[in-house]
Chain A
């Protein structure tokens, strides 16, 4: 029974992945990489949910992960369309160049 012994191991992995994704979002300048780091953070949270769902033997957690994945697919499609539209306007996807709303 793996989850019994390694509950904290699974939680540590998912926290580590979340922190790595967060640092990536804050440090990288390429919009695609930033977006990929957001996906990484989503996956970390999914792993957390599945771990507890398995531990308490309650399938509600894995149902939630299923719906999160569906919304993530929709979000990825729209996000990449926005990145393509940005690239079409400025020939660049460096997020520091998109400061129209900054004052």
Chain B
């Protein structure tokens, strides 16, 4: 019962904040609304028993990445976007058409999909212990590759954002 209420609240909140992100004119509000949206998605992961992914979502996305976005928005000190004011033009119409086409495509794909089997009642699914064990055994090679990717991204970002005289 609590879970059902939580699911509906998070569902409505995540869609509403996502819509607000793309309609807001001020980039600062967009960033803050996206943080709320990422918290909602973290909550949805919790309702799916994926505790580890939920924690990573909050720490990495809502914490680290969005703070980075916030810093960049503050650093560039941009005003509100004026080009949003003409409410409708051909390009935007095309964008909505493409969005609707994708939505229709997904609905057609879902129509033929029937979920085989059923979810088992389990409290083991998202346990940190289980995921950590898998990370260090079966997925140890990609896990080590991730550290190389993060190092490359760090050096690359430094080189790109550096001031050249």
Give chain A's interface residues, CB within 8 Å of chain B.
1-4, 6-11, 13, 15-24, 26-30, 32-33, 35-37, 39-40, 43, 46-47, 50-51, 53-57, 59, 62-63, 65-67, 69-78, 80-85, 87-88, 93-94, 96
B92-114 interface code vs A (CB 8 A; 1 in, 0 out): 10111011101100100010000
Within the assembled complex, what's the spacing in Å between the Cα atoms of A10 and B38? 15
Taking chain B's interface residues, is the majority helix, strand, or loop, or is none over half, making it mixed?
A: helix
Residue on B nearest A63 in the bound complex, by CB: B139
Beta-carbon contacts under 8 Å, B60-76 to A? 60-61, 64-65, 68-69, 72-73, 75-76
Taking chain A's interface residues, is the majority helix, strand, or loop, or is none over half, making it mixed?
A: helix
Query: Given the complex, which residues of A lie within 8 Å of B41, measured CB to CB?
Result: 17, 43, 46-47
- Given known pairs A22-B99, A47-B44, A67-B146, the reply for A84 and B72 (CB within 8 Å) is yes
Determine whether the beta carbon of A36 is less than 8 Å from that of B21. yes
- Given known pairs A23-B99, A30-B78, A59-B130, the reply for A9 and B72 (CB within 8 Å) is no
Chain B nearest Cβ from A89, distance in angstroms: 11
Chain A nearest Cβ from B72, distance in angstroms: 5
Determine whether the beta carbon of B68 is less than 8 Å from that of A19. no
Residue on A nearest B138 in the bound complex, by CB: A63
Within the assembled complex, what's the spacing in Å between the Cα atoms of A53 and B138? 17
Of B37, B44, B161, the contact of A10 (CB 8 Å cutoff): B44
Determine whether the beta carbon of A85 is less than 8 Å from that of B106. no
Residue on A nearest B31 in the bound complex, by CB: A36
Determine whether the beta carbon of B83 is less than 8 Å from that of A29. yes
Determine whether the beta carbon of A19 is less than 8 Å from that of B92. no
Query: Given the complex, which residues of B lie within 8 Å of A23, measured CB to CB?
Result: 22, 95-96, 98-99
Beta-carbon contacts under 8 Å, B107-143 to A? 110, 115, 117-122, 125-126, 130-131, 134-135, 139, 142
